[in-house]
Amino acid sequence: MDKSFTERRRRELLVAASLAVAAALVPLFVKNPNVQNIMILTLMFGALSQSWNILSGYCGQISLGHALYFGLGAYVTTLLFVKFGVLPWFGMIAGGIFCALIAMALGYPCFRLGGHYFAIATIVIAEIGLLLIQNWEWAGAALGIEMPVRGDSWLKFQFARSKLPYFYFALALACVAWFVTWWLEDSKWGYWWRAVKDNPDAAQSLGVVVFDSKMGAAAVSAFLVAVGGSFYAMYVSYIDPGSVMGFQFSLLMALPAVLGGIGTLWGPLLGAVILIPLTELTRSYIGGSGRGVDLIVYGTLIVLIALARPEGLIGLFSRKGATR
C-alpha cells in the first residue's frame, strides 16, 4: 500500500513534467501573438488559481479578496522599479514577502471568523485596499503608473518585440505553483490544512494548531499570488488600481479552481485551461460594447458544474482524483 502511494506521487510528477515540456514546445508552432497572449494569461491564471487553492481549497478558508495580493504584488514591483530603480526580479520577491506578511496581519483577526464571515471579510478588505491605492497620490492614484520602456532586457524583464519570454515565465510560474502544491500535499502542512477544512474540532484534538495552519496557508498563498501580480505588471507595463486590484481578479482566481476541482492538485490548471481562453474569446468576439458577457458565460458554466459535478471537472477523470 505504501508502495502504491509513492508510485502515484511519482506518476503525478512525471505527468506534470511531460505537460510542462509539451507546453514549452507550443510557441514553436503557434506564432499568432493574440493566441500567445491567451496562453500567457491561461498559464498565469492557472498559477494564481493554484495558489488561491492552497488557502481556499486545501485549508478551506474561502477568500474572495485575493485581488488584494495580486494588486499589491504588481504595485510593489512597479513602484520599486519606477521610484527606486530596483530590478523587477527583486521587486517580485519583495512583493511576495510583503504580501505574505500582509496576509498574516489580516489573518490574525480574520481567521477567528468562521465560514461565510471570513469570505465576506476578504471581499471588504480587498475593496478597502483598492480605495486606498486609488487615493494615494504618490503611487499614481486612480491614474496608475507606467513602466518606462527601456528596450528588451532580461535584467529588467522587458520585451517589446516578443511575447515568448513572458510565455516562458508564466509557464515557470505555473510549474512552481503546481510543484509547491504537490510538495505541500504530502507534508505536515498539507494534512493539517485538509484536517482544518474538514473538521477543526477534530483537528485540534489531534494536535493540529488550527490558527497556525491557516496563517501558514495564507502566507504561502499570498506570496505566490503576489509574484503573479508582479509578473502581470511587467507584462502589461502599465497598471492602475482597477486593472490589477479589481474584484474580477478575485473571481478569476477562484473560478478555475472551483470549475476544475477545489482542493485538488490538478483542478486549478484544468479549470484555467478551459475558462481563461473562453473568457478571452467571448470578450473579443461578443464582449465589445456590452461588458460582462464573458462573466455570464462562465457563471453559467459554474452553475452547470455545481449541479452536475460538485467536486469539479477533475471528477470526470477519476473517482480518486476528486478526493485528493
CB 127 within 8 A of CB 247: yes
Binder of other proteins out of 66, 156, 194, 214 (CB under 8 A) = 194
| Number of Cβ within a 10 Å radius of residue 192 | 23
What is the per-residue binding string for other proteins in 147-186, x denoting contact by CB under 8 A?
---------------------------------------x
Q: Which is nearer to other proteins, 207 or 290 (CB)?
A: 207
Does 208 participate in binding other proteins (rule CB under 8 A)? Answer: yes
Q: How far is the CB of 191 from other proteins (least distance, A)?
A: 5
Return the bridge partners of 146, or none: 238
Residue 185: HSE in the Cβ half-sphere, 13 Å Cα cutoff: 23
Which x/- pattern over 259-278 shows residues binding other proteins (rule: CB under 8 A)? ----x---------------
> Looking up cell 480587498, which residue turns up?
126
CB of 127 to other proteins, least distance (A): 31
Which residue's entry shows cell 490538478?
Answer: 266
Q: Which residue has the cell 470526470?
A: 316
CB of 179 to other proteins, least distance (A): 16
Q: Work out whether 206 is an interface residue with other proteins (CB under 8 A).
A: yes
Output the CA–CA distances (angstroms, integers) from residue 73 to 43, 190, 233, 245, in the order listed.
17, 25, 8, 10
Name the one range near other proteins by CB under 8 A: 20-28, 154-162, 200-208, 287-295: 200-208
Q: What is the DSSP letter of 308?
A: H
Determine if 198 is a binding residue for other proteins (CB under 8 A).
yes
Residue 146 contacts other proteins per CB under 8 A: no
Q: Shortest distance, CB of residue 129 to other proteins, whole angstroms?
A: 32
Provide, rounded to whole angstroms, the least separation between the CB of residue 44 and other proteins: 28
Are 170 and 47 in contact by the 8 Å Cβ rule? The answer is yes
Under DSSP, is residue 52 helix (H, G, I), strand (E, B) or coil? Answer: helix
CA distance 321 to 270: 12
Identify the H or E element spanning 239. strand 238-239
Least gap, CB of 181 to other proteins (angstroms): 16
Q: Does 205 bind other proteins (CB under 8 A)?
A: yes
209-238: which residues touch other proteins (CB under 8 A)? 209-210
Q: Counting contacts by CB under 8 A, is residue 13 touching other proteins? A: no
Contact with other proteins (CB under 8 A): which of 37, 199, 243, 248? 199
Q: How many residues bind other proteins (CB under 8 A)?
A: 25
> Any idea how long the chain is?
324
- The per-residue DSSP string of 127-176 comes to HHHHHHHHT-GGGTGGG-EEPPP--SBTTTTB-SS-SHHHHHHHHHHHHH
202 binds other proteins (CB under 8 A): yes
Residue pair 267/314 in contact (Cβ under 8 Å)? The answer is yes
List contacts with other proteins (CB under 8 A): 1-2, 5, 186-188, 191-192, 194-195, 197-199, 201-210, 263, 323
